[in-house]
Amino acid sequence: MEQRVIDTLRNVFELNGFIGIETRAVEQGSSLLKKGETSKEIYLLSRLQEVGHESDTPIEDRLGLHFDLTVPLSRYVVEHSGDLAFPFKRWQIQKVWRGERPQEGRFREFVQADIDVIGNGDLPDHYEVELPLVMVSALERLREFGLPKATVHANNRKLSEGFYRGLGLTDVEGVLREIDKLDKIGADEVAKLLVEGCGANENQARACLELAELTAANGADLAEKFDALCAKHDIAADSDAYVLARQGLDTLAMIVDEAARIRPGSVIADLKIARGLDYYTGSVYETFLDGAASLGSICSGGRYDNLASQGNKKYPGVGLSIGLSRLVSYMLHAAGAHANRVSPASVLVAVWNEADRSASNVIANQLRARGIAADVAPTAAKLGKQIKYADKLGVPYVWFPSDAAEDGVGDEVKNIITGDQQPADARSWEPDTVYARQTVTVEA
């Protein structure tokens, strides 16, 4: 299934003009720490002769495995800036390594799928609409695998920062990190953390939670609710804090309204989305599946203006990332009976006897020429054994070539899951969509 998902995502990304790249797995420690990660989250490398001396070398001067694909992208852009056409739209699907405690949905080694757009000096904000819509389109294509509907929840860091400053709070990054924990620990615990660790009083903490509760499906509704909340907490419309917040609000309203025109209901404003990483400077996104609240966000990202730079030149970007291994793991569990396909083949062509194997090969090649994955039975065993072989591989169809010994009997194909058997012609037959997927089981 994983490879099929990768192929689907790549197809959607390239349909939208994104260019595929691959970067090295190993990065300098100084680069890996740019996003604010701690050394505990990075797998550091050393040569055998250096074992025992690692503590003598600062992490910044050592090498480690990349834990995401954004840091390698920022290095790639700086190194190749003279050769790239900006805005640079890239997709990248690679393994990453992270210092996680292995558990359901958490892996030390996993595959990530990213799309980003990088500008040279500036980047138009219409890309902050384009990227979530591309991701929604890609996730929509994955619904053929049984994935539920996906909705992107968007916020803007400027909106949140302006509001917090308007309340008199100065530790904006700290507040954002605590608000990011809302879904995990609940409002009361977050309020306590805001008071204990961010210098907020009880009223300020509750005001931050009120902002987080705001949602809207259109820009006008969002603006009305936000202005009412500012008035409630005495944030003046002519203050610097309000002006900053309004910049974020206007961008967020534009994203929601434009997305509604193209894909209604695909993107909503949700002001509790914070994305705790410090490097985000504008829009931030989290993506959730209908009926899968326990899974949490399956795709996240945002706008970053300061991650990649070269002297005085900056390369602002906006990107989204899917934890693909985690998503495939969920899909395998949710797919039930269809998750046990070991072979990518949709059809196994039976062989009546070895003398007729060439006829079975012709049928298989006709199916393959039309894009239908097909295999041929390895031996001319009894028919029951051939069907059992297909079942063990998870191949849903067995094709019976016409038997020359029986006049008037043409080819037939049997769906061994439903038991339905019908006449078939290899030049025109199509498998049912639900069984056509090359859903091959992989180790997560």
- pLDDT at residue 102, as a whole number: 67
Distance CA 190, CA 205 (A): 8
Annotated binding site for L-histidine: 68-70, 98, 112, 116, 275, 279-280
Instruction: Report the DSSP beta bridge partners of residue 397.
Output: 347, 415
Distance CA 319, CA 114 (A): 7
- pLDDT at residue 52, as a whole number: 55
- pLDDT averaged over every residue in the chain: 88
Which of the four pLDDT bands, split at 50, 70 and 90, describes residue 229? very high
CATH superfamily of 347-442: Anticodon-binding domain (3.40.50.800)
Q: What is the mean pLDDT of residues 421-441?
A: 75
What SS3 string covers the chain?
CHHHHHHHHHHHHHHCCCEECCCCCEEEHHHHHHHCCCHHHCCEECCHHHCCCHHHCCHHHCEEECCCCHHHHHHHHHHCCCCCCCCEEEEEEEEEECCCCCECCECCEEEEEEEEEECECECCCCHHHHHHHHHHHHHHHHHHHCCCCEEEEEEEHHHHHHHHHHHCCCCHHHHHHHHCCHHHHCHHHHHHHHHHHCCCCHHHHHHHHHHHCCEECCHHHHHHHHHHHHHHCCCCCCCHHHHHHHHHHHHHHHHHHHHHHHCCCCEEEECCCCCCCCCCCCEEEEEEECCCHHHCCCEEEEEECCCCEECCEECCEEEEEEEHHHHHHHHHHHCHHHHHECCCCCEEECCCCHHHHHHHHHHHHHHHHCCCCEEECCCCCCHHHHHHHHHHHCCCEEEECCCCCCCCCCCEEEECCCCCEEECCCCCCCCCHHHHCCCECCCC
- pLDDT at residue 28, as a whole number: 82
Task: Please determine, for residue 301, whether its predicted confidence score (pLDDT) is greater than 90.
Answer: yes
pTM for the complete prediction?
Answer: 0.78
CA distances from 86 to 78, 92, 123, 179 (A): 12, 17, 9, 35
Residue extent(s) of CATH 3.40.50.800 domains in the chain: 347-442
Among 228-242, 263-277, 425-439, the range of highest mean pLDDT: 228-242
Which of the four pLDDT bands, split at 50, 70 and 90, describes residue 430? very high
CATH superfamily of 1-338: Bira Bifunctional Protein; Domain 2 (3.30.930.10)
Top-confidence residue, 442 or 7: 7
Average the pLDDT over each of 61-70, 186-195, 310-319 and give the range with the smallest value. 61-70
Q: What is the mean pLDDT of residues 157-185?
A: 93
Which of the four pLDDT bands, split at 50, 70 and 90, describes residue 167? very high
**CA angle 144–149–150, rounded 5-degree value:** 120
**CA angle 236–238–241, rounded 5-degree value:** 70
Among 13-22, 310-319, 342-351, 426-435, the range of highest mean pLDDT: 13-22
**CA angle 301–275–322, rounded 5-degree value:** 35
Task: Please determine, for residue 439, whether its predicted confidence score (pLDDT) is greater than 50.
Answer: no
pLDDT digits (tens, 9 = 90+) for 327-361: 988 887 775 434 556 788 999 999 999 999 999 99
Top-confidence residue, 202 or 63: 202
Task: Please determine, for residue 409, whether its predicted confidence score (pLDDT) is greater than 70.
Answer: no
Annotated binding site: 68-70, 98, 112, 116, 275, 279-280
pLDDT digits (tens, 9 = 90+) for 67-120: 889 989 999 999 999 999 999 999 999 999 887 666 665 678 889 999 999 999
Q: What is the mean pLDDT of residues 6-32?
A: 91
Which of the four pLDDT bands, split at 50, 70 and 90, describes residue 440? very low
Task: Please determine, for residue 426, whether its predicted confidence score (pLDDT) is greater than 70.
Answer: yes
- pLDDT at residue 332, as a whole number: 77
Which of the four pLDDT bands, split at 50, 70 and 90, describes residue 311? confident
- pLDDT at residue 405, as a whole number: 45
Which of the four pLDDT bands, split at 50, 70 and 90, describes residue 39? low
Q: Write out the two tokens for 224.
A: 């009305």
Top-confidence residue, 29 or 443: 29
CA distances from 273 to 94, 182, 215, 270, 318 (A): 26, 9, 10, 6, 16
Average the pLDDT over each of 7-11, 34-38, 235-239 and give the range with the smallest value. 34-38
Q: What is the mean pLDDT of residues 278-296?
A: 90
Top-confidence residue, 405 or 122: 122
276 CB-contact burial (10 Å; exposed 0-12 / middle 13-18 / buried 19+): middle
